[in-house]
């Protein structure tokens, strides 16, 4: 019974976040209310307050849903030996992009954060948190390049932080292009090719 209750609570929380991603994208964060989210999720406002303190708390939870999968993926692979950290990072970036193409909820969350949030008003403090989180992600990218350098002479004259920022910008461009043209850009087909184009110049020849 306790396990079932926890599962039901998690299902309700997921419903609320899924509904919030739709409402915030359709109406904008500032123009959305908890009533809108509750109606979309088909739950009571009380159910929302059981899981979240306020609307901003939901916004932060959506950001964690976006950030955590990639961070977890990068962290887990950093803890394993690999013949080529560059190939390893390429595989992880490719997987993230392909997973994105199959996940409507993640696409809405990315649209919210990359195209529809100006971080003004009550969201202003979130910008600092998100900037800190981005730095964490860049540090993980940089760690892959640091691991590759001893066996890869091509990387030894390059700054790992600059390479990390480069792949971050490259992926951001792909994601924005996909969000702008989801029906015409076949990211599942293109992502492996585009990642190979980027990483091919960084691999030991």
Q: Which domains does the chain have, with CATH numbers?
A: 1-52 (1.10.10.60), 55-200 (1.10.357.10)
Nearby residues of 2 by Cβ (< 8 Å), 6 or more positions away: none
- pTM summary value: 0.84
DSSP secondary structure code for residue 184 in this structure: T
Instruction: Report the pLDDT averaged over residues 39-57.
Output: 94
What is the mean pLDDT of the segment spanning 28-36?
92
Would you say 163 and 141 are in contact if contact means Cβ atoms under 8 Å apart? yes
> pLDDT grade, residue 131 (50/70/90)?
confident
Share of the chain above pLDDT 90, in %: 56
Q: For residue 79, give the 3-state DSSP assignment.
A: coil
Cα dihedral sign, 181-114-141-75: negative
pLDDT digits (tens, 9 = 90+) for 136-166: 889 999 999 999 999 898 899 999 999 999 9
**DSSP state for residue 156 in the 8-state scheme:** T
């Amino acid at each position: 019974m306790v396990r079932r209750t926890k599962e039901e609570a998690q299902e309700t929380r997921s419903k609320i976040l899924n509904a919030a991603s739709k409402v915030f994208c359709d109406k904008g964060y500032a123009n959305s209310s908890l009533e809108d989210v509750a109606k979309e999720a088909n739950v009571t406002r009380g159910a929302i307050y059981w899981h979240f303190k306020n609307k901003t708390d939901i916004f932060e939870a959506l950001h964690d849903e976006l950030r955590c999968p990639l961070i977890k993926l990068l962290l887990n692979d950093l803890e394993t030996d690999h013949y080529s950290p560059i190939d390893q990072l390429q595989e992880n970036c490719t997987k993230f992009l392909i997973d994105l193409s199959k996940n409507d909820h993640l696409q809405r969350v990315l649209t919210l954060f990359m195209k529809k949030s100006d971080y003004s008003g009550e969201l202003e403090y979130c910008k600092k948190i998100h900037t800190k989180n981005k730095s964490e992600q860049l540090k993980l990218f940089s760690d892959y390049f640091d691991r590759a350098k001893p066996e890869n002479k091509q990387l030894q004259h390059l700054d790992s932080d600059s390479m990390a920022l480069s792949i971050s910008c490259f992926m951001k461009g792909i994601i924005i292009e996909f969000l702008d043209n989801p029906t015409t850009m076949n990211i599942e087909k293109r992502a492996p090719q585009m990642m190979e184009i980027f990483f091919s110049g960084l691999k030991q020849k």
